[in-house]
Amino acid sequence: AMRVDAGSAGRRIPSTLFGVFFEEINHAGGGGLWAELVSNRGFESGGQNTPSNLAPWYAIGDDSQVWLESERSSCFERNPVALRMEVLREVEGGVGIANPGFWGMDIRAGNTYKVSLWIRSLDKVNLSIAFTSRDGTTTLAQSDLILDASEAEEWSKHEMVLEAFDTDHYARLALTSMHKRVLWLDQVSAMPEETYKGHGFRKELALMLEDLKPGFVRFPGGCYVEGGSLRNAWRWRDTVGPWEERPGHFGDKWNYWSDDGLGFFELLQLSEDLETLPVWVFNNGISHSDEVLPELLDPFIQDILDGIEFARGPMTSKWGRVREAMGHPEPFPLFYMAIGNEDCERQYYHANYLKFYYAIKEAYPDINLISNCDGTLKPLGHPADLFDFHIYTSANTLFSMVHKFNHVSRDGPKVFVSEYAVVKSDAGQGSFLAALAEAAFLIGIELNSDIVEMASYAPLFVNTNNRRWNPDAIVFDSWQQYGTPSYWMQHFFKMSNGAKLLPFAVESLNTSAVPVVLSAVRIEDGTSLVLKAVNYGQFPVEIRVSLEGVLSNEIDIFASTITVLSSESLMDENSFQNPHKVVPITSLFLSAATDMELSLPPYSIVALGLPLL
């Protein structure tokens, strides 16, 4: 039996408890959440020397009649490479270049797309701009850019909106000319006109995040922050300002080029659009292969202080002005920052950590600083507001960690479980079994939310064409997406942020023999109770639940619901073909009462929602 003290004031669960962790991994951002359709839009992906790398751009039409090369002739100082395209003779139907985007562009009839490009020519220009099928046989949307020679002689920007009259989920952008000419092209971008909150995020993916009601967004990594080497680490200042002037960089940890359209500003904007708080993980002078000596750290510290000023400095400050120019005069609420990622054991971590810690605390005492060292078993040995705890393991091990935080010292810093997941053979490419163990682990976190302040699953996204890490919560390609069971499992916890954890007692249920984990909360606005249970065992379990401190007629029986996530087989997964194979099913729970029987199916996650009248 479970006796819940529903009349108790309860203990407040931090509003930050369950959040999300966005890392640029698996093309999560470029070719994913960031709705830019063109890949390598500035022709810079091979670096700033020529010949640079034009791929994935390629010649189309009679390719013997077009000469393509990278040239350092751009009008952008920080992006010197442009494309020189020479059409060698008049060609009917035209010749030119195409960009397949990130494994195809999703172009849909009736939708509109904003294309912009920079161009120069010594002659008049008549350029066809079209979305076509991958093989070029079907035109889906088209527009012509016509300039006379005087208009074309200097670099100029042109923007147009193309409305698609046909659909192809794997389309390409084709720029062609029928006339013998030399054209220079640079910074070619294409975006759906409709994006999440108008800020450039792929709508369906952002809505899946919104649906989780995350308590924070941690970004942009992960290992991505560290870099395989320091020279390829993510540097916030290279990702802000006009997109044409962002140099982009090669993320050598996950091995792909990023145009950095989804930069520091956009990630702060994302957290605002999701009505949540940003958690910025910054490079602390340590990569996977090199480290900055503590005595050489000052410029790195200044760089991070400038980054904070960019995020939340006044408009009178240098970097606050840059933010204002990007359209956000108001400061972003940056109150959480992690000093590096998984670097505790590195030679200079402690020394570098302390330098960052004191410099940031002195200038911004209200920023909570997160250490990479694990303080669950022993004190950190340095000051911190929170410490990171990462766990990737088997289902049984994660289940056995339900009580992991019961004995963590309540006198030290708070815990941020910033990466957790069941991995390897238990996880498949996102199994129900993984979600089941993760749900039990999260109930353990909920029960320990006096010391655990934040938790996030990792990684969040995977583009199936570039699976660098498996499993992930949200799977997508150019046009479709689905949540793995681990994504849906998180829905059971979204009402917990800011809720009151209610005390309860368990009687005559031997939880060491019957693997059931339970919790009870009153949601933040006080309008309902939510009881959660994970049955990690193969047998059904019946639990008698009694609610004390509420009267039967205070429960809205006709609106009470039971939500169950279970599956025929533990290794069941969702897929593009069957995206809803393992999803929570909600039905009315007409037996709601202050004394009731709750049936937990074998291997199940269950939530009872009891609205109060």
Q: Does 221 bind ligand AHR (CB under 6 A)?
A: yes
Query: Closest-CB residue for ligand AHR?
Result: 222
Q: Which is nearer to ligand AHR, 180 or 424 (CB)?
A: 424
CA distance linking residue 585 with residue 606, whole number of Å:
10
Should residue 419 be labelled a site residue for ligand AHR when binding is judged by CB under 6 A?
yes
Residues pairing with 419 in the sheet: 390
Question: How far, in Å, CA of 408 to CA of 421, rounded?
Answer: 21
Active site residue 419: no
Q: Kindly tell me which residue out of 222, 278, 483, 611 binds ligand AHR, with binding defined by CB under 6 A.
A: 222
Q: Which of residues 464-523 bind ligand AHR (CB under 6 A)?
A: 469
- Whose tokens are 């005390």? That residue is 503
Residues 454 and 414: their CA atoms lie apart, in Å, by: 9
Which of 18, 23, 36, 117: binder of ligand AHR (CB under 6 A)? 23
Task: Please select the residue that binds ligand AHR; options are 341, 466, 486, 566, rule is CB under 6 A.
Answer: 341
Could you tell me where the beta strands, DSSP code E, fall in 221-309?
Answer: 249-251, 256-258, 277-282
Identify which range of 26-34, 219-227, 346-354, 582-590 contacts ligand AHR by CB under 6 A. Answer: 219-227
Q: Binding marks (x or -) toward ligand AHR, 44..73, rule CB under 6 A?
A: ------------------------------
Exactly one of 125, 223, 267, 322 binds ligand AHR (CB under 6 A); that residue is: 223
Decide whether 244 or 419 has the Cβ nearer to ligand AHR.
419
Q: Are 194 and 105 in contact (CB under 8 A)?
A: no
CB-CB contact of 169 with 104 (8 Å): yes
> With contact defined as beta carbons under 8 Å apart, do 357 and 384 qualify?
yes
Question: Which one of the spans 155-163, 221-229, 263-271, 517-525 is the region binding ligand AHR (CB under 6 A)?
Answer: 221-229
Q: Which of residues 396-415 bind ligand AHR (CB under 6 A)?
A: none
Residue 343 interacts with ligand AHR (CB under 6 A): yes or no: no
Find the part of the chain contacting ligand AHR (CB under 6 A) among 215-223, 267-275, 291-299, 479-487: 215-223
Buried b (16+ CB within 10 A) or exposed e, 3-39: bbbbebebeebbbbbbbbbbbbbbbbbbbbbbbbbbb
Cβ atoms < 10 Å from Cβ of 287:
24
Instruction: Establish if 438 lies at the interface with ligand AHR (CB under 6 A).
Output: no
Task: Select the span of 8-16, 149-157, 218-226, 357-365 touching ligand AHR (CB under 6 A).
Answer: 218-226
Of 44, 266, 291, 342, which one is the catalytic site residue?
342
Nearest distance in Å: CB 283, ligand AHR: 13
Site size toward ligand AHR, by CB under 6 A: 11
Binding segment for ligand AHR (CB under 6 A), chosen from 220-228, 396-404, 558-566, 597-605, is 220-228
Q: How far is the CB of 472 from ligand AHR (least distance, A)?
A: 9
Tokens of 42: 């500035």
Question: Strand ranges (DSSP E) for 458-548?
Answer: 461-463, 474-476, 481-483, 500-501, 504-506, 516-522, 528-535, 541-548
Residues 153-192: b if buried by 16+ CB within 10 A, e if exposed = eebeebeeebebebbbebbbbbbbbbeebebbbbbbbbbb
Closest CB 416 distance from ligand AHR, rounded Å? 12
| Chain position carrying tokens 């609106």 | 559
Of 85, 443, 458, 592, which lies in the binding site for ligand AHR, with binding defined by CB under 6 A? Answer: 458
What gap in Å lies between CA 459 and CA 469, rounded to an integer?
8
Residues annotated as catalytic (active site), given as ranges: 342
Residues that bind ligand AHR (CB under 6 A): 23, 25, 221-223, 341-342, 419, 458-459, 469
